[in-house]
Structures are given as structure tokens and as C-alpha cells.
Amino acid sequence: MMIPGSGKVVTGGKMGKLYLLNTGSLGKEQANDAGAAQTVWYESDLSAPYPASCTNANGTYSAEISSYEIFGTAAYYNGYAYLGITPTTSTTTAGIRQFAYNGALTPGAYTSPSVQMNTRGTTPFISSNGSSGGVLWMIDTGLPLQSSGGGPTAATLRAYDADAFPNALYNSSTNSADVPGYGIKFTSPVVANGKVYISTGHDTVTTANPRGEIDVYGLK
């Protein structure tokens, strides 16, 4: 994600570490990530990183990893980046976390409830009236189609107040008429013309010629 007006980008991966990079000088590969403007763990205050290693034909490689994996892209609003992750254990607290940006990233508040394992995270979407009225939208995919953890289950559209984060504003599971289709990995909401659009599955993958669906939400 590009941070507006900063010349910086935020990225990350399955290790759970965020990298803040200068777009004009990305830093190349360097020992201990020295080329990055900043590295920060998603949750060092919630679940400390731990060492891990793997071995292949070229040798053994060691690194620190965390109990959170990044599969999506962050969103940005009024000096804050918002990032969703997926946990690697059933006891790990995880949802969307807010990071204050003032030349560097500082971890802050995070949403509840947690998302489940095997969900492949979520990419949040911000809607606002300029620099006010910010709403953070996210799809909790539950156990999505083709999940290795079982399922599938229905997705849940959640909304949070970006101006008073993480206050919850909406949850599609509280009204049976609002429940969308099955969750699909890596999906993100889209907001346009006062409506929220999400892509879900209408049928399971075991159905012949399974169909998808678009669920549309707006004020009644």
C-alpha cells in the first residue's frame, strides 16, 4: 500500500512482519532488513515472534516468525494504516489492527472478534466524506470456500468507525436477511454510490457448475 504524500509503501507477508520502504530507494536485499526504512511486527505486544527454520537441498534457513500471517493489503485514512491478518493458532487474538503513521508505523488498537485460522486474512476498505465520516469495511470470510480447515461458512460484512476505531458500526450476521453467501479467500469490499458490494459463493465447490453471487448493502 502506498501512503499518500509520503514516498513510502507498506508491505508484508506470511512471517507477520511489516516493511516500510522508500519508493525512491527500495533498499535491495540486505542482512537484517537494513534496506527498509522500518520493520515492525504486527503484534509483538500481543504474541511475541519466535524462531523457526526450514531445510532444503541448499541448506537450513532460520528466521523469526509470528503467530499472524499477512495475506492482504492495508488501507489508509487520516494518518493511520489498517491491516488485517490471519492467525496461525486458535488462541491468537487477531482482526484488523490500526497503525499510526508519522514517518514510522506504531501499532495501536485492534478489532474484536478475532478472525479464524485458515481464512487467508482480509483486505479492509475505507469509505469517508473526505477526511471525516470514515468507515472501515472488512469481510470476515469465516471458513472460506476451499478452506483446508473445513467449512465453508457464510461470510460476514463488518464495519468499524475509523474516526473512533475500533468501535463497531455494523455486522451482517445479526440479521438473517443480511447474511451473504459463502466466504471467498482474498476478497475485499468495494464502496460506491452509498452501497457496499462484496463477492461471495452461492454454492459449494462440490456442486456441479457452482455459482457465485454479489451481495449489495445500503441504507434502507
pLDDT tens track for 106-157? 999 999 888 888 788 899 999 999 999 999 999 999 999 988 777 799 999 9
* Cβ neighbours of 4 (radius 10 Å): 10
Cis peptide before 152 (omega within 30 of 0): yes
- pLDDT reported for residue 113: 80
The pTM of this model reads: 0.92
Domain holding 56, by residue range, is 2-218
Contacts of 133 (CB under 8 A, 6+ apart): 163
Q: What's the grid cell of residue 6?
A: 509520503
- pLDDT reported for residue 63: 86
- pLDDT reported for residue 109: 94
Q: What is the rounded average pLDDT of the residues 18-35?
A: 93
* Distance (Å, whole) CA 151 – CA 201: 12
- pLDDT reported for residue 151: 79
| pLDDT value at 43 more than 90 | no
| pLDDT value at 211 more than 80 | yes
- pLDDT reported for residue 112: 85
Q: Per-residue DSSP letters for 122-145?
A: ---EEEEETTEEEEEEEEE-SS-T
State pLDDT tens for residues 95-117.
899 999 999 999 999 998 888 88
* Distance (Å, whole) CA 26 – CA 8: 9
Total domains in the chain come to 1
Contacts of 101 (CB under 8 A, 6+ apart): 3, 6, 76, 79, 80, 81
* Distance (Å, whole) CA 103 – CA 22: 11
* Distance (Å, whole) CA 180 – CA 151: 15
**Nearest to 101, CA basis, from 152, 146, 37:** 37
Higher-pLDDT residue of 63, 178? 178
Ranked by mean pLDDT, the top range of 58-67, 149-158, 189-198 is 189-198
Averaged pLDDT of the chain? 92
